[in-house]
Structure 1
């Protein structure tokens, strides 16, 4: 039987939640998550949005994901070296501002204040209409409207009517005020703006994608006698977290991972193993303590990842180690999104052969979008588990 990390779970008590005048309602009417009733969480009658794992009722206790606090302007900082979370409550911008409520600007635009990275943000959202470029004039108009607030930074979340998140645009309020005053141009704003995910980003070339191989690893699983029983691929997503397929390590006692020119032995310690989604995660380190906490050096690099599904026709890249040939790069397109046996898969045409299981599927911006898992026999069709499933496992461990 494999050993697992000691999981240190932080439970938000009713005392903490009461600071936000929040109410949680547990009822099966909101659906179930892995057999547990989903809980709707509201703050001052505003329902908090769910990203990944929802709040649930578990053994009579209400379990609320730490990352939900970020919607209330709370800074949540995860320290992977100590397995601890530091929570910083926001300060009011001024005596007349409630930082936890959605407000309206003078023009009637809904927005929310938040405090993060030592700055105050005013955030609103814009629904996808014609695409990022054609929608930019309206997004800019919304940023101008947000400049009527007292926030230091302005942000617009870009999503569609089904709540698919495409990224965010943010910029300092002073720049928008300078634009309104005619001191700078729209081109200056485009140069200064900051975006997330792939929003307004330039696709990478194949050569630039190839430079990400220092984040891709080769894994060999060993039995209790130290004999190699299987091999596969995997990749880092930051903090030493290494992701691969569950079937790559099935029946093993320990694994050795080679990544970035170094080999790590995880001594059998792992973070999660989910046979249904076929996912496995472990923290790579040069040493561990008696409880499996990493005490040595961990890889410092990692891939960015997104949890939104790609669209059919999007270009993708697969990097893995077919037949032990490390860091083999192939490219293709997304050819479908399939739901099979309760799991959603990204169907694509980037070649994945035996030994590439657990390798990464990248979009054209170099972001991990899936974990390559299996192929349809006698075809050139391959299937990857979307990163939303990895994100859900990390949510359960409070690693977001």
Structure 2
């Protein structure tokens, strides 16, 4: 069996790494097709894949090829006699021509695959590896709400294409040694750890990010008035934030006070496209970026965390898998208008409904920014205790089993589809 993985960004190795490792362990041939970027400029240029980004795998090595345009992948298929191509995108993202001797496999990566792909495009792939049945129902609701396709049509489109594999990228968690991570980062073995995935403010549209980033009541009031010229709802909704001094600085201070109150070590994990802000750098005990994508730095940090604080991140799923309690902090839509005007996927996904991915009793909880600022400093880590039975139910619904075998299920499905 011969597989190829399309690597449009170096971060894709986070999704592919465990599957590649499992394929090499089976003795399969593996190629990685790295996109050759046309430009080295821009906020995401650091994600352009290079040869140095290709991980070292325990069970063998991969052959690397380069492509420039998406359509070039069609030529690579013909050149390399590949049995199956694996991507986090659908087939029509790259090309629409048939490939009768090569199966195209799409791995789910959170919501993105649904939000950026029309139903017919998603159905262009030969095999779709979803985490759990919940996601086909969520996607059907999303496409119906966005008037792209009714649920029955959507299910018919994907008939016989879906397999539920669990979350392959998380297989690597079982191979991460928490004690080794702590020693490498010089964190005492017994000290509790709080992992913070900071709120994203850079390059966001609308007035709210500038308003929230402002320090001090005067500067916040100025930003509130400026933003109110374009959206008068901003003043009505956030005047109390200005008078209360609720901003990015006070949020950071509240999280730091919570850590001090509980004797916890604070790790801030950022991304280069939105650099960790100076006041958070000063408050955190350690600041990290993506030093590695396989194993992913964020998963190494998760392996030693007692609590993960985030802002509607799919890290909620990763935390539950890793056995870490999650705290989701609500952040307004950047444009800050009525909720009905927010993107449909926000309305269906970014919720605090009991039992939702971000507010599941015994696994995670949901708080507003004002609540975090005013309440969190006095809380205890004991208020964020994971319940093992609730975790199993959460994983069953959203993630799949935490057995480290999702990649094997992906490969089994590929093998079966190739042989058909």
Q: Same fold (TM over 0.5)?
A: no
Q: Which has the higher strand share?
A: 1
TM-score w.r.t. structure 1 length?
0.27
Higher relative contact order (CA 8 A, sep 6+): 2
TM-score w.r.t. structure 2 length?
0.26
Q: Which has the higher helix share?
A: 2
